[in-house]
Each structure stands twice: as C-alpha cells, then as structure tokens.
Structure 1
Amino acid sequence: MSAIKQLNGIQYLRGLAASLVVAEHANLGIGLPKYFGRQPVPFEFYGGPAGVDLFFVVSGFIIAYITLEPSSLNPRGGIGDFLWRRLARIVPFLWLCVATYAALRFVGRHGSFEWDPYLRALTLFPIGPVNPSQAWTLRHELLFYLVFATAFWRSGPGLLLVGAWMLSPILFFSVLGPAQPTTGYELLGFVFNRLNLLFGFGFLTSLAYLRRPDWFVETLPNGMAILTGLCGLYLVLFMLISYTHLDTADVLLAGVGASLVLCVALRVRAELRPGLIDRAGLALGDASYAIYLTHGAIISAVLGVWSRLAPNTNALVVLLVCIAASLGAGLLIHRSIERPMVRWLQDVGFWRHFRATPSLLRDPTGKRN
C-alpha cells in the first residue's frame, strides 16, 4: 500500500503566507508606544500584503481544482453542496474567533467598546471596519465563492462569466476613477475590487493544472526550502515597488509573481519521509487559517505582558518570540479546536452528498488519488 502524501507545495505556501502576515503584524505591534515603541525591522517590509496576496492566489487555485472535473470543467456536485463545504470550512471557526475577541475586549475595557465591527465580522458585511481586522479578507473569499457558484451552477459560459468578474476591476477603476466617499461606490468597489485579479491568477493556474498535468510533474525535492527562498524574493518585489492594493499595476505584478511561485509549488515532490523542515511546513500549512485568525490576539497578549515585565528587551528577540508564539498557538488551536470542528461538520448536511473530489493529496509517483 503506497503512502499518501499531501500536495505539499500548496501546504507550504499556505504556511509561508500565514508566517509573512504574522511577522509584519508582530513588527508593527512591537513598535506601538503602548508596548516597546520601537520596531525590530525599522521599515515597511510588506509581509502582510505579500501573505494576503499569496492566500488569494492559492484560494483561486484550490476552488477550481477541488470543484471542477478535469475533462469537462463542469462542477462535480450541486451548488448547495459546494456552498456548504466552503461555509462550513471558514464560518463556524470565524464566529468562534470573533466571539472570543469580543469577549476579551469586553472584559479588558470593562464593557466599553464598539459592537459594530464584531457584528460586521460575524456576517462578513462588505462595508465598514471589522474586528478582528483579518476578517476583511474573508469578505472577498465569500464573494469569490458566490460568484463562482453562480457562474458554474447554471447553464451558460461559466468560465467567461468568472473571467469577466475577475477582470472587471480594470474596467471599473478606469471608468469611475479613484474611490469616492459614498456608500454606493464603496459597495461597487468591493464587488469589483482589484483583489479579484488575484483570484483570477490562481484560477487560471488551476485550469492549466487540470487540463495539462504533464506541465507540473512533481520533481523538485526540498520543497519548503525552495519555496521559502521564492517567497523571500516575492517579498523583495513588494518592497521595491512600495506595493499597494490600490494600484492596479501593483496587483497585476503581484499576481504574476504569486502565480510563478504557485507553479513551482505544484512541481514540489511529495517525499516518503519528509525532513524536519518539510514536516514543519506541512503543519503550518494545515494550521494556516487558525494562525491567520488568532495571531493578533496572541501577539497582543505577549506584548502586553512582556512590555510591562521587561520593557528594555531587545526588540528583535521580542519579534522572534511573538512569531514563534503565534505559530505555536495557531497549531495548537487548529489541532484541538478547528480541525475537530470541521471534521464534525463533514458528517452533517450536504457534505455527505458531495461527489468525490480530488483533495490536496498525491502519492509519491504523482498520480491522482
């Protein structure tokens, strides 16, 4: 019986994307006056935007890969099944995190704080600030799911409809120009956001992978090390162009770069006995969603205690500990809470009726399972 391994490159990218976000948020948090007042890295290194863009491109890839038949590009199951799988994967754990954040803030501020951002996060309402702030990306994820489902579970040119939505930001911002301080413009700016382009890059990569798997023969060893180096170069790109999500050219360039990294990830070989670095990468990839949603609270807790007990500690040491604590706590929360929750949800509702789909699994020979 051959050992079954995950499509490792995708998992590595997930873990690396989460780590980039954690690193920047920890760096910014340490520099706040209420904590240490000095940043370990005294400049903007764009770990947050780079990690988020990688997440979006990977998400665009995964949704098409697990949903569409390679031969016909038709969906494998019903729309209800698809939406149940997606919502069950992200929403219950999001609710738990939002409720925990709100409870901690309520206690910490003796009941004096605004409820609106938490309610927006719970509902993924498309307009206005959310708390925890990381939930803003999930609003775009949910929009992508709805557009994808609407396009592919109806008669007609699904690929063209999804493609039109993904390219819509180029036309929208060319015609209407910079953002206006109106609710209507804000809602349109959400639906036709430049981030749609990032989902598009991942989506196109997935179509190529489904139709031409011979382009992605898994021959690269030491995948985690290779992808870590590539993500470092990707980060340099963001610093060189002073990246912003508000510039279409920047987003297009980021999408091209992320797609190239993704193509390399798809060629990573699944080892029968992965080394320590690769095992760590797989673990971080599995826990990336939990890390992403919980790291803000972990960093705040570490900094709150440490800045009072040892305010003169070297800021770089604090940064490394914050990153390690965030990743470690995220792994623990994933294994003890998130993963059991998702597994339980897999046994209810529409999920059991969804036809077999390819998971992110491969055997060592590269054959599909």
Structure 2
Amino acid sequence: MQYLRGIAVLAVVLSHSASFTSSAYHSPPLFGGALEFGRLGVDIFFQISGFVIAIVSLRETDLAPSIGVGRFLARRFVRIVPLMWIAILAFAALQWLGHVSGSGLGYLRTALLLPGPLIPSIVWTLRQELIFYVIFALSFLTGRRWRFVPILWFAAILLVPRGPQTLWSHDAPLALLLNLRNLGFPCGLFVALAWLRYSSLWRYRSPIEPLAILLTASALVIFIIVPAFKIDSGVGLILILVPLLLFAVHVECPPGLARRVGELFGNASYSIYLFHYPAISVLMVALRKVAPASPPAIIVVIVLILSTAVGIAAYFLIERPLLAGVRDRVARRTAEPTAAL
C-alpha cells in the first residue's frame, strides 16, 4: 500500500512541476499535456484513504467498529491538521517574502477547511477527506442502521445533474459533497469491506518486484491510457484505478532496497504533498533567474527532484517529530487519571 501511496504523490508532483514549468517558461505542455494527468494521483489517494480508514476502524469478523467516533476523529485530527497548519504558515510566509498579498480570511478558511477558495489551493483534497471522515464515522461507527449512507452518497454523486448553475459553485457546500472526485472514497471503502470479509488471508507473491510493476502500471494508466481515452473523472476512472489498489493491498513486498525506497516515499507522501507546492513556487523563481533558456523538460526533472526532496526533508524534520510529540502528549494525558488512582 505504501508503494502506491508514494507513486500517487510523485504523480501529483510531476503534474505540478510540468504545469508550473509551462506557465513560467511560456512553453507548450510537454508530451501534449499528458504529464498534467498526474493530478489523478489524488484519485488514487482517495481510494487508498477509503480503504485504509475502513481497515483500521472495523473488525474483520463482523465489520463492527473497533474505535469510537470521538477517538476516530481525534486521531484523524492529529494525523492531518497540525502538519497542514504548518504548511499553510510556510506558504503564507513565502507569499509575504515574495511581496504577494494574501487574504487573512482565506488563510483562516483554509486552516478550518471551510467552503470557499483556499490558500494554498492543494488543501482542497484535505477538505474532501474531512467530508469522507464525517460520513464514515456517522455511518460505520455509530451502528449498523446507518451503513447504507455511503451507498446513497455514491449514488447521489453519480445522479446529481451537473452544469454551471446546478451546484452554485465548485466551492459551495453541495458541490463539495457531490464532487465527482469523491467517488474514490466509497470505492476504496467497498473494496475494504470485501477484503475484510473474504480475502484478508490471501496474499500474492509476484515473480517480479512489486514496486516495478506498480510504477509501470501506474505510469501506463495515468499518462497513456487516461489521456488517450479522456477518462479523467467518474466511474470510468475509478474502475481503471481499482486494479492498482487491488494489486497493492494483496501483493507481498519482499525485503530489500526496493521495499525501503517504496516505503520511504509512501511514509513521506503527506509531507511531500503539502510542501512540494510552495517548494515549486520558489524553485520556479530561482530557475527563471539562473537558467532562463534551459529546455523545459530539464526544468521539470529538476523541479520534480528538488521539490520531492523538500517534502522528504519535511517528513524527517517536521512530520515525524511533530507526530511523536503530539502522540506522546496525548498518551501522558490519558495515563494521568490512571496514575492518580
């Protein structure tokens, strides 16, 4: 699973690297714009999230909740929000240093994941994650009677009429709830439910290194098949991406260098996602000054490598110490009443 998570974030970074380079260097999109389909890494993230949240929150035997609503939401808050706030502050600081005026209300809206324009815009995916967390918690962690809610959500996303006036705006609450990109969450959830009930004991040992298979298959799907058939949203996209998820959750990953590399990128994927965007902004300014005539393809490679490196550094220097500190503080607070007894 960590392999696929790392591949997904690299696809997103590649997409942003290509689009920023085309804009900054006034060049046509590389490979006819195929690289910008790396944005579909977000859809892979959503499927992974739907799968993982169910796996860690439900019992294998009867799909009963293994965690309460309050504790579930608290864990999600600790995992997602503090690092997001740091990334928002870092982006705001860079904007200020670059003499770019930003809206204080916009930053506050982003920090609270409220409807409306976000600064930086990449935080939109975390707002969609929040919607899924609430729906999952209210449907699967409160008793069996509400488990049909994700099915209704899936159906509503598919059946709602679409058009410029239908959902008011793409940042309005109804539009956020029924965004087509949200289909990845219930899809991953349904895969997890089937996995828990029928196939959790089955593992596949690949004759070829799993990381190589996932890299090749993901590149083929994201950058060749999807652009060729112009299927970049809806059920068609979900069905194309599901085999990647199924392979990732069932394949055995042998120890070795490939596993260490794959797990590194998977573990650091959240930091890479949050910090690559401001890193690319700074790199574009610097590269236009020091290498104004460089081929765009070279610039994309440089930006991809350096912005990913910034994200990995943020993982080791910020995310891991931050999570360890927060979890240690929560553990001490939990233990205090027991110690007092």
Scaled by the length of structure 1, what TM-score is found?
0.83
Displacement of 1:315 in angstroms is: 1.6
Q: 2-side partners of 1:230 and 1:158: how far apart?
A: 37
Displacement of 1:104 in angstroms is: 1.4
Q: Percent of aligned pairs with the same residue?
A: 31
SS in 2 for 1:113: coil
> Which of 96, 103, 122 lines up with 2:111 in the alignment?
122
Count of residue correspondences: 330
Equivalent residues in 2 for 1:69-84 (5 A)? Answer: 69-84=59-74
> Which of 325, 328, 332 lines up with 2:313 in the alignment?
332
> Which of 232, 235, 238 lines up with 2:219 in the alignment?
232
- Say whether the 8 Å CA contact 1:209–1:216 is kept in structure 2: no
Question: Residue in 2 aligned with 1:95?
Answer: 85
Which is further off, 52-61 or 251-260? Answer: 251-260
Unaligned runs of 5+ in 1: 1-9, 245-249, 354-369
Scaled by the length of structure 2, what TM-score is found?
0.90
Question: Residue in 2 aligned with 1:194?
Answer: 180
Q: Which has a greater percent of helix?
A: 2
Q: 1-side partners of 2:157 and 2:39: how far apart?
A: 18
Unaligned runs of 5+ in 2: 335-341
Q: Deviation string for 1:279-337 (max 9, x for gaps)?
A: 22211111111111111111121221111112111221111111111111111110110
> Which of 23, 46, 58 lines up with 1:68 in the alignment?
58
Displacement of 1:166 in angstroms is: 2.6
Go from structure 1 to structure 2 and tell me whether the alpha carbon gap of 1:146 and 1:330 turns closer, same or farther (over 3 Å shift). Answer: same
SS in 2 for 1:25: helix
Displacement of 1:172 in angstroms is: 2.2
Question: Residue in 2 aligned with 1:159?
Answer: 147
Q: 1-side partners of 2:261 and 2:171: how far apart?
A: 44
- Say whether the 8 Å CA contact 2:69–2:142 is kept in structure 1: no
Q: CA RMSD in A?
A: 2.2
Question: Residue in 2 aligned with 1:57?
Answer: 47
Displacement of 1:352 in angstroms is: 8.8
AA at the equivalent of 2:30: V
Q: 1-side partners of 2:168 and 2:29: how far apart?
A: 38
Q: 1-side partners of 2:182 and 2:17: how far apart?
A: 27
Which is further off, 229-238 or 182-191? Answer: 182-191
Q: 1-side partners of 2:129 and 2:146: how far apart?
A: 18
Question: Residue in 2 aligned with 1:147?
Answer: 135
- Say whether the 8 Å CA contact 2:168–2:175 is kept in structure 1: no
Displacement of 1:42 in angstroms is: 4.6
> Which of 19, 32, 35 lines up with 1:28 in the alignment?
19
Q: 1-side partners of 2:124 and 2:239: how far apart?
A: 23
Q: Deviation string for 1:89-116 (max 9, x for gaps)?
A: 0100000000111111122116x33333
- Say whether the 8 Å CA contact 1:167–1:197 is kept in structure 2: no
Q: Deviation string for 1:322-364 (max 9, x for gaps)?
A: 11111111111101101111122223448997xxxxxxxxxxx
> Which of 187, 212, 216 lines up with 2:198 in the alignment?
212
Higher relative contact order, structure no. (Cα contacts within 8 Å, ≥ 6 residues apart): 1
